[in-house]
């Protein structure tokens, strides 16, 4: 199955010596798997950096929203019910994003 996922090299397949061909083929597969692993690690690290960047940006924006909310006159502020609904929606979004992130790590 490993060979099918990585593909074959026509150059290696053209080698007449079976022992050399098998060794090179095995090495080719190992190198390809290592490269795939490195690429996946880089992709994960990039995703984590982006996640942290956007989480920080989100936190800053939410702080601005709540600071602005505090400056409003009482009759213009969000009701406790509205705040609860917003917090629940945001918690659902956070949970979904965390689930997606965890799924992407296991791939």
pLDDT over 50 at 1, yes or no: no
Specify the length of the chain in residues: 107
Contact 102, 45 (CB under 8 A): no
The domain ranges of the chain are 1-50
The model's pTM is: 0.61
Report residue 21's pLDDT band, with 50, 70 and 90 as the boundaries.
Answer: confident
Query: CA–CA separation, 68 vs 19, rounded Å?
Result: 73
Q: What is the pLDDT of residues 45-102, one digit of tens each?
A: 888 898 899 989 999 999 999 999 999 999 999 999 999 999 999 999 989 988 887 7
Q: Return all residues near 7 (Cβ < 8 A) that are at least 6 apart.
A: 32
Q: What is the pLDDT of residues 22-53, one digit of tens each?
A: 898 889 889 999 999 999 899 888 888 988 99
């Amino acid at each position: 199955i490993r060979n099918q996922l990585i593909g074959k090299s026509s150059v290696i397949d053209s080698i007449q010596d079976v022992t050399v061909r098998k060794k090179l083929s095995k090495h080719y597969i190992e190198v390809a798997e290592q490269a795939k692993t490195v690429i996946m690690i880089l992709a994960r690290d990039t995703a984590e950096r982006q996640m942290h960047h956007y989480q920080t940006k989100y936190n800053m924006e939410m702080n601005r929203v709540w600071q602005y909310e505090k400056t409003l006159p009482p009759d213009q502020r969000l009701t406790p019910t509205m705040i609860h609904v917003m917090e629940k929606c945001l918690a659902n979004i956070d949970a979904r994003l965390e689930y997606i992130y965890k799924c992407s790590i296991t791939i």
